[in-house]
Amino acid sequence: MSDPTGQRSNRPLRPAWLEVDLSQMAKNFQLIRADASSSLAIGSVVKDAGYGHGAVEVARVALAHGVYCLLVSNLDEAAELRDAGLKAPILLMGERMESELPTCLELGLTLAVGHVQIAEAARRLAVSLGQQLKVHVKIDTGMGRYGAHWDVALELVNTVAVLPGLRLDGMFSHFSMSDELDKSFAREQIRRFLCVCDTVQQAGLTVGCRHLCNSGGFLDLPEAHLDMVRIGLLPLGVYPSQVCRRIDGIEPVGTLKTRLAVVRDVRRGDNVGYGLRYQAPVDMRVGVLPIGYGDGYPRVRNEGFVLLNSRRAPIIGANAMDSTMIDVTGISGATAWDEVVLMGRQGGDKITAHDLADWKGTVSYEVLTALRSRVPRVYHQ
Ligand SMILES: *Cc1c(COP(=O)(O)O)cnc(C)c1O
């Protein structure tokens, strides 16, 4: 076990932490690599601190297991990867302010570009510095977010491809619905995207790397793999939804753990937690966990459970910023500082990111990215 990130001293590890299994992560990347055709480039999306698992740590495993490039959403994220000495291509997704362009050049980033004005600004800057900036043109095929509308994308592609200073390195788009059973809109997006690529080719331009798939698309829409896929969630062992195709052997790499801080007797009729949300129906034993919504654990009320001594202990009451109470009445031997699993496996049982998402009424993506930096990350090789 290596030192957790964020641990600035030899102080004892806080009894609430995210364990990240780097060898399972490596296995996941290997399984994904083996599942994909050998000519398919794999891009590892490590935005938002690698979905809470550590951007640099995920990126290192990714690059050691056949990943071609890294993708992030903002400059700080890209700089963190460069500061760690990672030299792989980095595609910066989203839109840039003009003031960010010099740093993009400095860090050697590949720029996503969605409209002509920013392409022009990037071109002027690159030319003035005698440099060339690699660009992936973003096409909006139905996400309604970033990119040039698929009907009118040729002007933007022309700006990027023809004038000096920029190099058209790729074109991409993004699915708005790839991980649900109904793939009809995804198929329409594929059609629109391929249509734009054809138009560009017919205009005599070289499209470069075409990419459209996120994890859901990678799993369920092989016809959309094209030249590269951009996957973030799947290598962490979490499927984008309950209905996507499975790859045998892919398992979650993150386990959220804490310890029982206190075990106490509560009398019938006593209340537990804020807002009188729980009143003991009988004499019972209650455990207090030193983790709460301030750590990014979902804010729940009388919902969900944790694993303790390989048993399920229900969450009671409303959890607080720093604490969560559980019913340990049926769990004999529960003692202060016993290890508790909030997400992950213990014994034969498990709690998934999807379970937490259901309790909170959100998606697995938010459960993972919600975990705050105050929860130390502990890496196992
Ligand atoms: C976040 C993101 C991805 C990765 O999606 P996953 O479902 O996590 O694989 C891919 N493409 C874009 C544009 C994104 O913003």
- As a whole number, the mean pLDDT across the chain is 96
Across residues 96-121, what is the average pLDDT? 97
In whole angstroms, what is the distance from residue 229 CA to residue 133 CA? 22
Active-site residue (options: 27, 47, 134, 360): 47
Ligand 1 pocket mutation pick from 71, 175, 225 by most atoms within 8 angstroms of CB:
71
- pLDDT above 90 covers a percentage of the chain that reads 96
In whole angstroms, what is the distance from residue 125 CA to residue 138 CA? 20
What class, spelled out in words, does domain 254-380 have in CATH? mainly beta
pLDDT at residue 160 tops 90:
yes
pLDDT in tens, 27-66: 999 999 999 999 999 999 999 999 999 999 999 999 999 9
Q: Assess whether 350 carries a catalytic annotation.
A: no
Unique residue bearing structure tokens 């794999």: 42
pLDDT score for 163: 83
Domain regions of the chain by residue span? 36-236, 254-380
Q: How far is the CA of 232 from the centre of ligand 1 (A)?
A: 6
pLDDT in tens, 343-360: 999 999 999 999 999 999
Q: Report yes or no on whether pTM surpasses 0.85.
A: yes
Q: How far is the CA of 231 from the centre of ligand 1 (A)?
A: 6
In whole angstroms, what is the distance from residue 353 CA to residue 342 CA? 10
- Which atom belonging to ligand 1 lies closest to the Cα atom of 216? 7
Other beta carbons less than 10 A from residue 341's beta carbon: 20
Identify whether the C-beta of residue 79 lies closer than 8 Å to the C-beta of residue 106: no
pLDDT score for 7: 53
Q: How far is the CA of 43 from the centre of ligand 1 (A)?
A: 10
pLDDT in tens, 127-147: 999 999 999 999 999 999 999
The answer to whether domain 36-236 has CATH 3.20.20.10 is: yes
Residue nearest to ligand 1 atom 3, measured at CA: 214
Cα angle at 136 between 132 and 141, to 5 degrees? 155
Residue nearest to ligand 1 atom 10, measured at CA: 214
Q: Which two tokens stand for residue 197?
A: 């690529």
pLDDT at residue 6 tops 60:
no
Domains 36-236 and 254-380 share a fold: no
Q: What is the DSSP letter of 9?
A: S
In whole angstroms, what is the distance from residue 312 CA to residue 251 CA? 21
- Which atom belonging to ligand 1 lies closest to the Cα atom of 178? 7
Q: Assess whether 47 carries a catalytic annotation.
A: yes
Band (pLDDT 50/70/90 cuts) for residue 103 is very high
pLDDT at residue 9 tops 80:
no
Identify whether the C-beta of residue 371 lies closer than 8 Å to the C-beta of residue 256: yes
In whole angstroms, what is the distance from residue 127 CA to residue 21 CA? 45
Active-site residue (options: 68, 146, 274, 350): 274
In whole angstroms, what is the distance from residue 291 CA to residue 334 CA? 18
- Which atom belonging to ligand 1 lies closest to the Cα atom of 146? 13
Q: If you write DSSP's letter for every residue of 253-277 in order, what string do you get?
A: -EEEEEE--EEEEE-TT-EESGGG-
